[in-house]
Amino acid sequence: MEVREIGSQERERYNEFVWNSEKNHFLQSFEWGDLKAETEWTPIRIAAEQDGKMVGAIQLLKRSLPLKGKSILYAPRGPILDYRDKEVFGALFHFTKKVAKKNGAIFLKIDPDIPDDDIDVKKMLSNFGFVRNERGKNFEGVQPRFVFRLPLNHDLDELLASFESKTRYNIRLSKRKGVEVVDDVTKEHLPIFYEILKVTAKRDNYMIRSYSYYESIWKHFVEKGLAKLFMAKYKDEYIAGTLAFLFGDKAWYLYGASSNQHRNVMPNYALQWEMIKWAYENDCSIYDFRGVSGDLDPNNPLYGLYRFKKGFNGDFIEFIGEYDYKYSPLWYSLWNNIEPKYRRIRQSLRRSNSKTENTGGSSE
């Protein structure tokens, strides 16, 4: 078996393998690496081949640390392979050790698209020396550990009928009230979406990235048919919007925004239904609503998000979470102590950038 780094000249071959794999994910696509390369990450793509055929792949994202010669490696929802094949996993794993040494990596983080009840994979990761990084039940991790996934194995009428009665009612109410979901939008709509996103972030007290980040998403994904912007219009005013991604046989709801006005006409229900139909029409087998909290206490402030997504009758999935391999246990321990402070500094800087944008200044 041959394992090697691959370059942009093999983009199509790499993407074709990831696209057709059972555990495909847009976060392991060549395009996601290109997107992150415009921030503070460097993508490293590795392929395992047998008899000239690709049998495994992993896209590592490297981030240099404010420590001389040190970095971290992260493979979002990777690696991509048949997890029953320990030989392929081992070959990729051992090659990443060489990459890690070359780049001064102190650890590798993975969070595969594997359900938490898969004991065999958890045992394999433990045998290779990975340790589980417990993060909590809300959104403390890098990727959501808990999601809702809707299997698209019935026709649209049957899917709609399977939703909870309140969800079906709100989808129909939105239509009766005159909400129109516009899916043939152009890049001229992106600033409108972003303005609504800023309103949402302020209302719900979370941070968003700069406008340039969403421009990059448009360039790398929307223009290639791998993502789509949906906008909800009411009385000639855009009041909500969503961004959905598509790769292989799956679609993901990633970003959503809604204004403070006209929330009673239920635009978010209309948007979700249109995204589900888009996924179905693109022959997807799964529509992923992405993250919810695993803390199902009704008093949890995030419980409303859980109830909203649960209404579409998807499967509640818990992934195995984050697994770290320590290349340098000492530096890894130091990083775990430093990282919360490092994250707060980055968040503070991002807030400052957001304020600059909101007052008409330059973006990051």
> pLDDT confidence of 205, banded at 50, 70, 90?
confident
What mean pLDDT is reported for the chain?
92
Q: Is the dihedral of CA 152, 54, 108, 126 positive or negative?
A: positive
User: Does residue 121 carry a pLDDT above 60?
Assistant: yes
User: Does residue 76 carry a pLDDT above 50?
Assistant: yes
More confident residue, 204 or 354: 204
Q: Dihedral (C-alpha) 72, 7, 90, 79: value to the nearest 10 degrees?
A: 70
All structural domains of the chain: 2-110+327-357 (3.40.630.30), 154-284 (3.40.630.30)
Compute the average pLDDT of residues 167-196: 96
**Each residue's pLDDT tens digit, 226-254:** 999 999 999 999 999 999 999 999 999 99
Give me the percent of the chain exceeding a pLDDT of 70.
Answer: 93
Compute the average pLDDT of residues 287-305: 92
Compute the average pLDDT of residues 304-311: 95
**Each residue's pLDDT tens digit, 130-177:** 999 988 788 888 899 999 999 999 999 999 999 999 999 999 999 999
pLDDT at 336 (0 to 100): 81
Among 337, 296, 338, which Cα is nearest to 316's? Answer: 296
Total length of the chain: 364
pLDDT at 1 (0 to 100): 92
> pLDDT confidence of 345, banded at 50, 70, 90?
low
pLDDT at 355 (0 to 100): 41
Among 244, 266, 242, 271, which Cα is nearest to 256's? Answer: 242
User: Does residue 187 carry a pLDDT above 70?
Assistant: yes
Measured CA angle at 105 (ends 99, 106), to 5 deg: 140
Tell me the C-alpha distance between 246 and 279, whole Å.
8
User: Does residue 356 carry a pLDDT above 70?
Assistant: no
3-class SS at 131? Answer: strand
pLDDT at 138 (0 to 100): 84
CB atoms closer than 10 angstroms to residue 97: 13
Tell me the C-alpha distance between 190 and 62, whole Å.
29
